[in-house]
């Protein structure tokens, strides 16, 4: 951990919290113009799957969650969305 004596990126002193400051000015902080998951900064498929796992797994369990993710990622191959019903009702494989 840098305690302030070492130099950070661009030779500005780094602080304990990892922020880099410009001497005599203001601290620099990363800026994200568009939050991840918005239309201007969409998530890739793996990031969506990870978020779905995080939210669904505690409720549905790992096996059901993976089944839903697999089927949603292959929606074009389903005969109908009713094929997802068993997974949402707790009877999926």
Same domain, 49 and 75: yes
| 65 domain-assigned | yes
Domain carrying residue 55 = 45-88
Same domain, 24 and 52: no
| 10 domain-assigned | yes
CA distance to 11, 14, 15, 22, 29, per residue, from 5 (Å): 11, 8, 9, 14, 19
| 24 domain-assigned | yes
Same domain, 49 and 77: yes
**Percent of the chain clearing pLDDT 70 (strictly above):** 63
| 56 domain-assigned | yes
pLDDT digits (tens, 9 = 90+) for 42-87: 999 999 999 999 999 999 899 989 988 998 899 899 888 788 788 7
Alpha helix (H) residue ranges in 1-93: 45-60, 62-73, 85-88
Q: What is the DSSP letter of 27?
A: E
Same domain, 84 and 49: yes
| 19 domain-assigned | yes
């Amino acid at each position: 951990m840098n305690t302030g004596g070492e130099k950070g990126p661009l030779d500005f002193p780094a602080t304990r919290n990892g922020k880099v400051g410009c001497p005599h000015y203001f601290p620099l902080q990363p800026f994200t113009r568009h939050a991840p998951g918005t239309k201007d900064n969409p998530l890739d498929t793996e990031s969506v799957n990870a978020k779905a796992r995080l939210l669904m797994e505690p409720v549905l369990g790992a096996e059901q969650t993976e089944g839903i993710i697999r089927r949603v990622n292959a929606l074009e191959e389903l005969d109908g969305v009713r094929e997802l019903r068993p997974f949402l009702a707790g009877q999926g494989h």
